[in-house]
Structure 1
Amino acid sequence: MTVAWWSVIPFAVLLLSIAILPLVPATAHAWEHNRTKLAVALACGLPVAVWFVVAGHGTEVVHALWEYVQFICLLLALFVVSGGIFLAGDIRATPRNNTIFLAIGGLIASFIGTTGAAMLLIRPLLNTNRERAHRVHTVVFTIFVVANCGGLLTPLGDPPLFLGFLRGVPFEWTLSLWPQWLFVNVLLLATYYGLDRRAYARETPEAIAWDDTSQSPLRVVGKIHFVFFALVIAAVAFVPSLDLHALETGHATWAQAIPWRELVFLLAAVLSFFLGDREVRFAYNQFSWAPILEVAALFIGIFLAMIPALNFLAQVAPRLPLGEVTFFVFTGGLSAFLDNAPTYATFYEMASQLPGDPRIGLAPGVPEAYLVSISLGSVLCGAITYIGNGPNFMVKAVADDAGVTMPSFGGYLGWSVRHLVPTLAAMALIFIADGVVWTALGLALAVGLLVRAVLLARAHVHPVDAS
């Protein structure tokens, strides 16, 4: 369906509402309620859905709603399962220990998914740091590393890569992106360590003493829930979902008409909720439904309102100067605001029409150089805003629920521009841009980021210990 530029206005209004309404005194209190978020989301999304249905393009609305259902079922399952696992004990909330936490999350994200890793680690990380006053940067970098950049190595890591797998990209192909994965995550972890050293130095002696005297050995409570985690991950990798295309063409078998994958997600959530220890879930983890309800309320509007935005993107894309660098820039920039999975799919289809060898995926395939750029842009740049990737808002909501005053939409974007975007720029200059000059600029930027991290780490070290 051909759409005009003004068709993206509802999506823009929704983004501005998410960014501004929490900051305006007259609307801040109302925005705290999920019913307000749902009302705003539907006010922006429903008119778009009605417009497309009336115009005879209801199938696009059906696809958007089905993608939303798949998205929420997965997040719900991981949210419920992770809520039954508690890392008992308390280690010192030092910069070294926190950095190790994030590094582990960044490593496992490629194998249990960014959503699974983020939901598994955010509560233990918050529990470990509960004695500290300065925790916002820790949650922000959890989104950067665990909820996004760590998930680059397998199709299980992030939804865009799974879409590529469904289009014939070999399962092991994403492992070839390990140099970029390592480069980005090492730089981010170094930056985080420097920031946390500085933040640790600003803690009061009372907070440090409380943290030092509240230590106990770590142990995992609720191990049965790892079985449910495995069930969800296996469903993502091996269980088929409802086949909308077969249904629309009238050639669906009874098996293709059943959403098997989503049923497994819901089964894992139900088993976890009813078979797990309620004390662990509600007393230890202080589990509440508010975070998942917030995500569900906002993203129904996002999925509907971005339908014309994606259509408009498809219209203007053929006029864009597409190449390795621009594929990364366009895919990454749009993944930050349009959700990275549909953005990946859009640019994948564009790249399949371009010449180049070798080609990856089902015929006609995509030139490998372009696929690298599209994969890096969609996964890594999904961390730039709260709405770029599903778990971003989940982590924020859990942190808010735990009493951490998280930055607004614009405030978080400020964190991204200061710390994430320069890291991604250095990576792109070194690994994507072609030419010695660009590589030299990328290396210089990377060295500058490391020097900044060292200077942060050396500044105002707490006399007790900032290790």
Structure 2
Amino acid sequence: MSPVNSSKERFTFSLSQQGNRILQLIILIILSLVPFPVLAAGLPANELSLWWCIPFIGTLLTIALCPMLLPKLWHNHNGKIISIWCALFLLPLSWFYGTSEGISITVHALFQEYIPFMLLLLVLYTLSGGIFININGTGNVKLNVLILAAGTVLAGVMGTTGAAMLFIRPLLRANARRRHRTHLVIFFIFLVANIGGGLTPLGDPPLFLGFLKGVGFQWTFSHMLLPVLINTLILLLIFLCIDHYLLKQETSTDNKVKVQKTIFSWSVQGKANLLLLFAVTGVILISGLYKNAPTWYVYGVEISLVAWIRDGLLLIITLCSLKLTPAKIRRQNDFNWTPMAEVGKLFIGIFITIAPVMAMLQLGGTGNFKILINIIEHNGEPVNTLYFWLSGLLSGFLDNAPTYLVFFNLAGGDAVTLMQHLPATLTAISMGSVFMGALSYIGNAPNLMVKSIAEQHQITMPGFFGYMGWSVALLIPVFLLDTLLFF
């Protein structure tokens, strides 16, 4: 058997496996239509102590430390380790508050958060993996800046996940012969996987949730354009200096590194997936605009017909992409399901164990985090600087979408009032939730996906705290400037 045929068979088998996973997901969703009784309405947040946050903290520390301290164990058993933390939360919860509470929390995490979250990632990952961008040029500074800038702009149109998956492979291919490549991926995560998503509600989940709550599309674009532009230009300038310095070192010591200064041409294959990307955008926009839809309850969790139709259409678009894209294009992209599998395992743990943290945060000034919450108000007026930093720092280590909602509600929860009378507060929440997702690998899902793809290309990526060394040194000064300019 030829190597090409063997590779083709392996890829076909991989797609078959993914098809089975998608089928299982469809079955899981269909099962939720069964009219189970309502068992619980939510966590009794008033009764919870800070001890219930331990499984979530343990999950975060495990994600941070295990790849560095126990890499082999983590690589082979990360799903099992995350499952242990979920069990350490759900079993005591079921013991103290009843089995129905544990089931309710799990169902809520799966059907209202995890499955829609993973479906959106799945369709964007699948579509972008079916688009092959061929750039006739090697990794010189101008080309790298151009790729980062293009990815950042498109992140606001097609989402950070879609843009990150579309541009990371061309960037890595163009720089395949470079010796220093880690900084490329770091800045790519900063810009394409995070900051670029602040341009429109389609860019990042927090802003999309704001759109669903009534924040206007035009409002988001007009108020976020300048912050996104300033942050992008500053980081691109810093990147240009670093990349120029490192490339100069490489060319002076390594004759194998030859820099092509001119981009002669570029081409795109898999254009059907570009049309499907527009379809995804349309599905998400329409689902956000249509509000008068039937709803029903599954284990105390509200299920909307619009959400079902949206998720079903996203599944159909995913299957269309798998069917229409030639296997050759995905092989050229080194496409595989490892990043999706890794993100799926990690975020199911985060979505489940984060429940008590979010419940206590939603109590505001009457909960266990009252000291933290009360400082964001002074004499009844919001302290926008603290809204920016607190929503941002929590988004860097919690899920940024529910964090956005918490601070949105703390600021009043009425989109019209916030847009008209407290625009700086809403801008602070939006900027913090989106921009500071770049502070850690778990701040935004594309961060981990980009890291996984880079490691598959034999790029040595820093560990959890090593990455934070980069983000703190480079991003915190930029965010301090944001504070001075906007708040």
TM over 0.5: yes
User: Do the aligned partners of residues 217 and 374 (structure 1) sit closer, same or farther apart at CA in structure 2, a change above 3 Å counting?
Assistant: same
For 1:78, which of 97, 115, 124 is the aligned residue? 124
User: Do the aligned partners of residues 395 and 249 (structure 1) sit closer, same or farther apart at CA in structure 2, a change above 3 Å counting?
Assistant: closer
User: Do the aligned partners of residues 226 and 429 (structure 1) sit closer, same or farther apart at CA in structure 2, a change above 3 Å counting?
Assistant: same
Q: Which deviates the most, 246-255 or 104-113?
A: 246-255
Secondary structure in 1 matching 2:295: helix
2:235 counterpart of 1:188: yes
User: Do the aligned partners of residues 172 and 23 (structure 1) sit closer, same or farther apart at CA in structure 2, a change above 3 Å counting?
Assistant: same
Secondary structure in 2 matching 1:263: helix
For 1:256, which of 305, 309, 330 is the aligned residue? 305
For 1:266, which of 303, 315, 319 is the aligned residue? 315
Secondary structure in 2 matching 1:396: helix
**How much has 1:250 moved relative to structure 2?**
11
What does 1:57-76 correspond to in 2, within 5 Å?
A: 57=101, 58-66=103-111, 67-76=113-122
Find the counterpart in structure 1 of residue 387 from structure 2.
327
For 1:220, which of 247, 268, 280 is the aligned residue? 268
Partner Cα distance (2:247, 2:192) in 1: 21
Secondary structure in 2 matching 1:259: helix
Partner Cα distance (2:384, 2:245) in 1: 38
Partner Cα distance (1:70, 1:253) in 2: 14
Partner Cα distance (1:90, 1:214) in 2: 9
Assess if the C-alpha contact under 8 Å between 2:105 and 2:352 holds in 1.
no
TM (norm. structure 2) is: 0.81
Structure 2 letter corresponding to 1:279: K
Structure 1 letter corresponding to 2:90: A
For 2:477, which of 404, 412, 422 is the aligned residue? 422
What does 1:45-194 correspond to in 2, within 5 Å?
A: 45-52=86-93, 55=97, 57=101, 58-66=103-111, 67-175=113-221, 176-194=223-241
Assess if the C-alpha contact under 8 Å between 2:135 and 2:170 holds in 1.
no
Find the counterpart in structure 1 of residue 256 from structure 2.
207
**How much has 1:270 moved relative to structure 2?**
1.1
Assess if the C-alpha contact under 8 Å between 2:67 and 2:463 holds in 1.
yes
User: Do the aligned partners of residues 299 and 258 (structure 1) sit closer, same or farther apart at CA in structure 2, a change above 3 Å counting?
Assistant: closer
Assess if the C-alpha contact under 8 Å between 2:107 and 2:299 holds in 1.
no
Partner Cα distance (2:241, 2:301) in 1: 55
Structure 1 letter corresponding to 2:352: L
> What CA RMSD, in Å, does the superposition of the two structures yield over aligned residues?
2.8
Assess if the C-alpha contact under 8 Å between 2:287 and 2:307 holds in 1.
no
Find the counterpart in structure 2 of residue 44 from structure 1.
85
Gaps of 5+ in 1: 433-467
Find the counterpart in structure 1 of residue 437 from structure 2.
382
**How much has 1:244 moved relative to structure 2?**
11
Assess if the C-alpha contact under 8 Å between 1:351 and 1:366 holds in 2.
no
Find the counterpart in structure 1 of residue 244 from structure 2.
197
**How much has 1:51 moved relative to structure 2?**
4.3
Gaps of 5+ in 2: 1-43, 377-382
TM (norm. structure 1) is: 0.84
Count of residues paired in the alignment: 421
**How much has 1:387 moved relative to structure 2?**
0.7
Structure 1 letter corresponding to 2:305: Q
- CA deviations over 1:378-397 (Å, ceiling 9, x no partner): 00001111111111111111
Assess if the C-alpha contact under 8 Å between 1:41 and 1:299 holds in 2.
no
**How much has 1:215 moved relative to structure 2?**
7.8
Partner Cα distance (1:353, 1:231) in 2: 31
**How much has 1:16 moved relative to structure 2?**
1.2
Partner Cα distance (1:53, 1:297) in 2: 22
Partner Cα distance (1:346, 1:406) in 2: 33
State the percentage of identical aligned residues. Answer: 36
Structure 2 letter corresponding to 1:337: F
Assess if the C-alpha contact under 8 Å between 2:129 and 2:330 holds in 1.
yes
**How much has 1:80 moved relative to structure 2?**
1.0
- CA deviations over 1:2-32 (Å, ceiling 9, x no partner): 22111111111111111111222xx211222
**How much has 1:316 moved relative to structure 2?**
3.9
Structure 2 letter corresponding to 1:273: L
